[in-house]
A and B are shown apart, each in its own frame.
Chain A
Amino acid sequence: MKHIISLLMENESGALSRVAGLFSARAYNIESLTVAPTEDATLSRMTIVTSGSEEVIEQIIKQLNKLVDVVKVLDLNDGRYIERELMLVKVKATGIFRDEMKRMCDIFRGRIIDVADGSYTIEVTGSSSKLDAFLEALDKSAILETVRTGASGIGRGDRILKV
């Protein structure tokens, strides 16, 4: 099952490689990983999307906690959470595609952020599955390029991950 794991770690050089190395060394799946500093410059927040059996997820959480630089780990799937990912898609915008792409963009509440003679660049935000759905809905031959940030997650309401 897919899990979204959030963690806070010391904002030190090499911290990212410790997490990435752990996943490859122990053969854990990693679907996406995003990391950036928080409002506290000494801390980085990371969101890892992974999948595995309950036993594997339990081991992943324990192994992450064991890393000396990791301050806190939270499995967002243990409660209610919100997930957002940002995607930029460059699509063909010639002939019939020019109107079609604008319509699809509106349906998915995306924004066209760059317009060129033959293409649009569309920005879409949402859960990873919504972004998947958007790509599914587009004519494959119209997609020129995609780039996704990987999911970020945060607990709902009072669920707060903070030091």
Chain B
Amino acid sequence: MEDRSSPHSHQISGAEILIRCLQEEKVKFVFGYPGGAVLHIYDEIFKQDAFKHILVRHEQAAVHAADAFARATGEVGVALVTSGPGATNAITGIATAYMDSIPLVVISGQVPAPAIGMDAFQEVDMVGITRPCVKHNFLVKDVKDIAATIKKAFYIAATGRPGPVVVDIPKDITAHFAKFEYPASVEMRSYTPIMKGHSGQIKKAVKLLLEAKRPMIYTGGGVVLGNAAEELVQLARKLGYPVTNTLMGLGGYPSTDNQFLGMLGMHGTYEANMAMQNCDVLLAVGARFDDRVIGNPGHFFSKDRTIIHVDVDPSSISKRVKIDVPIVGHVKSVLAEMNELLIAETKAPDAGEIKSWWQQIDTWREKKSLVYKNSTDVIKPQYVIEKLWEVTKGDAYVTSDVGQHQMWAAQYYKFDKPRRWINSGGLGTMGVGLPYAMGCQLANPTAQVACITGEGSIQMNIQELSTCHQFRLPIKVILLNNRYLGMVRQWQEFFYENRYSESYMDSLPDFVKLAESYGHVGMNIVNPADVEGALKGAFDMKDRFVFMNFITDQTENVFPMVPNGKGLSEMILAGEE
């Protein structure tokens, strides 16, 4: 049926060309799942050992794992799926990466070119379906285009504001023959990301920062993705100004540093949100003022402040809030330029004003908004995270799923390094935690990797316990099991008069037996006194996957909380609800 006409001596098949491209890109792992449309490609994978293929149990997990590999390393993650259902299963993974600007190349098989549009078996319009959730996508129509397309895909995924790129390849194209030539570079007249910020604007920003009386530095995922943590620390230390991070930005500035006010936003600390609301000059770096960060924009603007916004993506600037000093450029280069200017600068911030601003911040800190009431009878989820931080010496790769446990992880695990906190911030995808941990562990085989999850989320990709066994990944799952979809329950308690509609998790599996059935170690931890010992014991099993089922307080809530649509200073604190 397919044309596999004999090649000239210098020609190789499209499938082999694809493999050679991935080798040229120095890809270490391809996360995937085989199927009809990608059989030629898998046959070539069988014949090579330049990269390792990680066989997942569901395509969604392949994309999540590739995504986590990218987040943990800064390299482009690669996933490979078949056409039709393989491709649609990948969509949630692609959309998750898109919302958090993660560089990915997702290769999907497609039915043979002549069958496209014929409602062929396992046919789906992958380019059409993914269009709204990719940075760009391609349908390869000629074997001669494979190499140039893959080169472009990696280039687009990794440069500018990073993002996922889908390359859809019909099966017959992978069987056709062509000469392999990998382009040395990419030139696209329609795609030229801006790298360097405008010098005049940077000077203006530095001047404003030095004149500030109540300054604030607010940074997001852009600092982590842009490898700009070092430059940020230098800037903040030189100025002596307070810093807050978004959920995606955690680790961009060391959490144990005294200038750090904690995370801001819906579940941010009292001091971070109050400082954000009351500052007079705000430096925003690689962050996008989203609804979970500043709450109601109208309320945010009830206070006057001058905003400087550094971002690689012009469309992130003045999207939700009006910016006074926009600086489009790579955050690393812009912060480095600011640091140079500051070193040469003779003027210093007004010491008196800055001191009284810090005094104000200290009074907010005295609220101790993250203090919770511990118990000797029932395990408090916050306590588990605190102990996890101690046991891992704050040096683990921590992934989370989505919900209350995610917020507690963000609040109580103090990240001092970038690329250690791996979670789905933008899309909020339940089920990412375990595949994220797989990507992190493969990227860092000897590192401690903890997956903080809930009993709802973990069941959304529980099949990956099998993958973890196959590849002997010594991940530690920290399941905070409260038998509720906790965040849903919390909102129902606050805003729906305790009508807990469908938020109860009944008929849960015996997680210990489940873990054991997959060849892992399982633990039930019920008593608060056993938490620390269990964690130590688990992390001492350096070559084992350990599934820890912590039975936690059912009614614990995440505080502080800025209710949906409210302003940043309208937080509900613990004990005030």
Q: Find out whether the CB atom of A62 lies under 8 angstroms from the CB atom of B190.
A: no
A70 to B156, CA, bound (A): 14
Which segment, of A10-18, A98-106, A128-136, A149-157, faces chain B? A10-18
What are the residues of chain A within 8 A of B189 when measuring CB–CB? 71, 163
A/B interface sample: 25 pairs, CB < 8 A: A14-B127, A14-B128, A14-B139, A17-B128, A17-B131, A18-B131, A21-B132, A25-B132, A55-B318, A55-B322, A58-B318, A59-B315, A59-B318, A62-B314, A66-B314, A66-B315, A68-B136, A68-B156, A68-B190, A68-B191, A69-B136, A69-B190, A70-B190, A71-B189, A71-B190
What are the residues of chain A within 8 A of B131 when measuring CB–CB? 14, 17-18, 21
- Over the window 37-76 of chain A, the binary record of Cβ atoms lying under 8 Å from chain B Cβ atoms (1 yes, 0 no) is 0000000000000000001001100110110111100000
Q: Is B395 in contact with chain A by the CB < 8 A criterion?
A: no
- Over the window 38-72 of chain B, the binary record of Cβ atoms lying under 8 Å from chain A Cβ atoms (1 yes, 0 no) is 00000000000000000000000000000000000
Q: Is B135 in contact with chain A by the CB < 8 A criterion?
A: yes
Q: Is B319 in contact with chain A by the CB < 8 A criterion?
A: yes
Closest chain B residue to A72 by CB distance? B190
Chain B interface size range: 10 to 19
Q: Find out whether the CB atom of A66 lies under 8 angstroms from the CB atom of B313.
A: yes
Q: Interface centre among B132, B188, B190, B322, by most A CB within 10 Å? A: B190
- Cβ distance A13 to chain B, nearest Cβ, rounded Å: 8
What are the residues of chain A within 8 A of B135 when measuring CB–CB? 68
- Cβ distance B154 to chain A, nearest Cβ, rounded Å: 13
Q: Is A9 in contact with chain B by the CB < 8 A criterion?
A: yes
Q: Find out whether the CB atom of A65 lies under 8 angstroms from the CB atom of B128.
A: no
- Cβ distance B68 to chain A, nearest Cβ, rounded Å: 25
Q: Find out whether the CB atom of B315 lies under 8 angstroms from the CB atom of A62.
A: yes
A55 to B319, CA, bound (A): 8
What are the residues of chain B within 8 A of A9 when measuring CB–CB? 190
- Cβ distance A39 to chain B, nearest Cβ, rounded Å: 16
What are the residues of chain B within 8 A of A58 when measuring CB–CB? 318
A63 to B313, CA, bound (A): 10
A25 to B133, CA, bound (A): 10
Closest chain A residue to B132 by CB distance? A25
A62 to B188, CA, bound (A): 18
What are the residues of chain B within 8 A of A68 when measuring CB–CB? 135-136, 156, 188, 190-191
What are the residues of chain A within 8 A of B315 when measuring CB–CB? 59, 62-63, 65-66
If A14-B127, A71-B190, A163-B189 touch, whether A65 touches B314 (CB-CB below 8 Å) is yes
Interface residues, chain A, CB within 8 Å of chain B? 9-10, 13-14, 17-18, 21, 25, 55, 58-59, 62-63, 65-66, 68-71, 163
A132 to B190, CA, bound (A): 36
A71 to B190, CA, bound (A): 4
Closest chain B residue to A60 by CB distance? B315
- Over the window 294-337 of chain B, the binary record of Cβ atoms lying under 8 Å from chain A Cβ atoms (1 yes, 0 no) is 00000000000000000001110011001000000000000000
Considering only residues 117-174 of chain B, those with a C-beta below 8 Å from chain A are 127-128, 131-132, 135-136, 139, 156
A17 to B125, CA, bound (A): 13
What are the residues of chain B within 8 A of A71 when measuring CB–CB? 189-190
- Please pick, from B190, B318, B322, the residue contacting A10 in the complex, using a CB distance under 8 A: B190
- Cβ distance A45 to chain B, nearest Cβ, rounded Å: 14
A26 to B34, CA, bound (A): 35
What are the residues of chain A within 8 A of B156 when measuring CB–CB? 68
Q: Interface centre among A10, A18, A66, A70, by most B CB within 10 Å? A: A66
What are the residues of chain B within 8 A of A62 when measuring CB–CB? 314-315
Given A14-B128, A66-B315, 15 other A-B contacts at CB below 8 A?
A13-B139, A14-B139, A17-B128, A18-B131, A25-B132, A58-B318, A59-B318, A66-B313, A66-B314, A68-B156, A68-B188, A68-B190, A68-B191, A69-B136, A71-B190
Closest chain A residue to B128 by CB distance? A17
- Over the window 176-216 of chain B, the binary record of Cβ atoms lying under 8 Å from chain A Cβ atoms (1 yes, 0 no) is 00000000000011110000000000000000000000000
A65 to B191, CA, bound (A): 9
A14 to B116, CA, bound (A): 15
What are the residues of chain B within 8 A of A14 when measuring CB–CB? 127-128, 131, 139
A9 to B313, CA, bound (A): 20
A37 to B77, CA, bound (A): 36
A65 to B319, CA, bound (A): 15
Closest chain A residue to B319 by CB distance? A59
- Cβ distance A53 to chain B, nearest Cβ, rounded Å: 12
A163 to B189, CA, bound (A): 9
Q: Interface centre among A10, A18, A62, A63, by most B CB within 10 Å? A: A62
- Cβ distance B372 to chain A, nearest Cβ, rounded Å: 40
A10 to B318, CA, bound (A): 28
Closest chain A residue to B136 by CB distance? A68
- Cβ distance A61 to chain B, nearest Cβ, rounded Å: 9
5 closest A-B pairs by CB: A62-B315, A68-B136, A71-B190, A68-B191, A25-B132
- Cβ distance A163 to chain B, nearest Cβ, rounded Å: 6
A6 to B216, CA, bound (A): 40
- Cβ distance B453 to chain A, nearest Cβ, rounded Å: 31
